[in-house]
């Protein structure tokens, strides 16, 4: 199935082109069925796409009330005494989505879902992990780890996280027929959502994650948190196997920081060290993989265009 890379001029052009792809997919899909499942991402990268998307929605190009959305991830350990406060924290991904998309829509989505990470109390989580070392294992390299809670966990709290927060989110997506189109951004080392570099691909559909230093450093650098100490160090996230179970995955990237993950994910064989490289496996299995990136992020992609073409990946350069 197709694997296409579209190289655009800049952030706004990337956002416009990506929004057109989403809107077209929604219109086409709604011709044949009465519901659309949209996968959403946070971060700076998709905010322009969301503005263009909201404009089309508010112009009546498609019916928002037929759309159900699922986000990729949510922090655990945001400041706040309870779930309500954590969800309303300005850096929560739930708050972000209201601010950057849901609040812009005149007619609301039928339903929105952001993984239920804010239900977890970080202190309780850390205490339970500490006193129940046999209930879980770490997977991954030194750069952020998946904390895999075992099926027979003795701790009621950990068993509840596995059942009601991780498994239940995946099951809800599956019950609704899977995601039609998933929007994703990419992290500094090529991670998707909070599936950090080095976490194995297989068997990790929903993750409880201890974040990578690099991810936390970028969150501080981008002004989301004042210091590494103030930043959450845990998250709930879809893993690559769930992200790439969508029918189409639309990856956006802009700016110099994304040069390496773009090149590595397209030039080399898939490896868990670069989670977005799973896109190659996804397209081989029949998924539609589309990158919409700006020319700054595409620097090495353009330099190596022939080698990338030889791997069966089409490049369309509309940046001039
Ligand atoms: C975080 C998010 C990812 C996002 C990444 C990059 O790690 N969990 O989903 O892709 O940041 O963010 P930005 O788009 O701001 O570069």
- Residue extents of the structural domains in the chain: 3-317
Q: What is the pLDDT of residue 213?
A: 87
CA angle 44/45/50 to nearest 5° reads 95
Selection from 217, 199, 198 nearest residue 208 by Cα: 199
Q: What is the pLDDT of residue 142?
A: 74
How far, in Å, from the CA of 46 to the mean position of ligand 1?
A: 9
How far, in Å, from the CA of 203 to the mean position of ligand 1?
A: 23
Tell me: pLDDT of 212 over 90: no
Q: Return the DSSP state at 315.
A: E
Distance CA 264, CA 227 (A): 30
How far, in Å, from the CA of 185 to the mean position of ligand 1?
A: 6
**Strand 36-40, strand 181-184: pairing:** parallel
Distance CA 252, CA 47 (A): 11
Residue to substitute in 18, 43, 262, 274 for testing ligand 1 pocket (most ligand atoms within 8 angstroms of CB): 43
Give the chain's length: 320
What residues form DSSP beta bridges with 148?
Answer: 137
Tell me: pLDDT of 314 over 90: yes
> For residue 267, with 0-12 CB atoms within 10 Å meaning exposed, 13-18 middle and 19 or more buried, which class applies?
middle
SS3 206: strand
Task: Give, using CA atoms, the residue closest to atom 12 of ligand 1.
Answer: 43
Distance CA 88, CA 23 (A): 29
Residue to substitute in 191, 211, 296 for testing ligand 1 pocket (most ligand atoms within 8 angstroms of CB): 191
Contact 1, 282 (CB under 8 A): no
Q: What would the pLDDT profile of 40-65 be if each residue is shown by its tens digit? A: 999 999 999 999 999 999 999 999 99
Selection from 151, 165, 158 nearest residue 74 by Cα: 165
* Ligand 1 atom at minimal distance to the Cα of residue 44: 15
Contact 15, 52 (CB under 8 A): yes
Q: What is the pLDDT of residue 188?
A: 84
Task: Give, using CA atoms, the residue closest to atom 2 of ligand 1.
Answer: 193
How far, in Å, from the CA of 215 to the mean position of ligand 1?
A: 8
Selection from 218, 306, 320 nearest residue 266 by Cα: 306
Q: Summarize the confidence of residues 190-201 as an average pLDDT.
A: 94
Higher-confidence residue of 79 and 153: namely 153
Tell me: pLDDT of 134 over 80: yes
How far, in Å, from the CA of 193 to the mean position of ligand 1?
A: 7
Kindly state the tokens that stand for 24. 């077209």
For ligand 1, which residues put their CB under 6 angstroms from it? 41-45, 72-73, 185-187, 193-194, 215, 222
**What is the average pLDDT value for the chain, to the nearest integer?**
96
How far, in Å, from the CA of 44 to the mean position of ligand 1?
A: 7
Tell me: pLDDT of 270 over 90: yes
Tell me: pLDDT of 1 over 80: no
Q: What would the pLDDT profile of 13-26 be if each residue is shown by its tens digit? A: 999 999 999 999 99
Q: What is the pLDDT of residue 230?
A: 84
Q: What would the pLDDT profile of 242-261 be if each residue is shown by its tens digit? A: 999 999 999 999 999 999 99
Architecture category of domain 3-317 in CATH: 3-Layer(aba) Sandwich (3.40)
Phi-psi region of 190 (alpha: psi -120 to 50; beta: other; left: phi over 0): left
Task: Give, using CA atoms, the residue closest to atom 6 of ligand 1.
Answer: 187
Task: Give, using CA atoms, the residue closest to atom 8 of ligand 1.
Answer: 193
Q: What would the pLDDT profile of 72-114 be if each residue is shown by its tens digit? A: 999 998 989 999 999 999 999 999 999 999 999 999 999 999 9
Residue to substitute in 42, 92, 214, 233 for testing ligand 1 pocket (most ligand atoms within 8 angstroms of CB): 42
Tell me: pLDDT of 293 over 90: yes
Contact 41, 71 (CB under 8 A): yes
């Amino acid at each position: 199935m197709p694997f296409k890379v579209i190289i655009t001029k800049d952030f706004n052009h990337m956002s416009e082109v990506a929004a057109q792809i989403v809107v077209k997919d929604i219109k086409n899909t709604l011709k044949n069925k009465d519901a659309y499942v949209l996968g959403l991402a946070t971060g700076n990268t998709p905010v322009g796409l969301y503005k263009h998307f909201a404009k089309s929605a508010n112009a009546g190009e498609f019916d928002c009330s037929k759309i159900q959305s699922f986000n990729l991830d949510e922090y655990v350990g945001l400041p706040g005494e309870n779930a309500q406060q954590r969800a309303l924290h300005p850096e929560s991904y739930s708050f972000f989505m209201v601010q950057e998309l849901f609040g812009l829509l005149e007619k609301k989505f039928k339903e929105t879902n952001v993984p239920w990470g804010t239900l977890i109390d970080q202190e309780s989580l850390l205490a339970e992990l500490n006193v129940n070392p046999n209930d879980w294992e770490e997977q991954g390299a030194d750069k952020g780890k998946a904390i895999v809670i075992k099926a027979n966990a003795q701790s009621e709290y950990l068993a509840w996280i596995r059942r009601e927060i991780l498994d239940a989110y995946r099951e809800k997506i599956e019950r609704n027929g899977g995601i039609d189109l998933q929007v994703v951004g990419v992290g500094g080392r090529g991670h998707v959502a909070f599936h950090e570099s080095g976490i194995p691909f297989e068997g990790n559909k929903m993750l409880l994650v201890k974040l990578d230093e690099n991810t936390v450093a970028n969150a501080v650098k981008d002004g989301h948190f004042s210091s590494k100490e103030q930043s959450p160090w845990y998250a709930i996230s879809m893993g690559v196997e769930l992200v790439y179970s969508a029918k189409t995955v639309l990856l956006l990237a802009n700016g110099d920081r994304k040069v390496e993950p773009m090149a590595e994910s397209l030039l080399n064989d898939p490896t868990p060290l670069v989670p977005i490289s799973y896109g190659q496996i996804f397209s081989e299995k029949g998924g539609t993989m589309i990158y919409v990136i700006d020319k700054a992020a595409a620097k090495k992609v353009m330099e190596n265009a022939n080698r990338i073409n030889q791997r069966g990946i089409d490049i369309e350069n509309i940046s001039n």
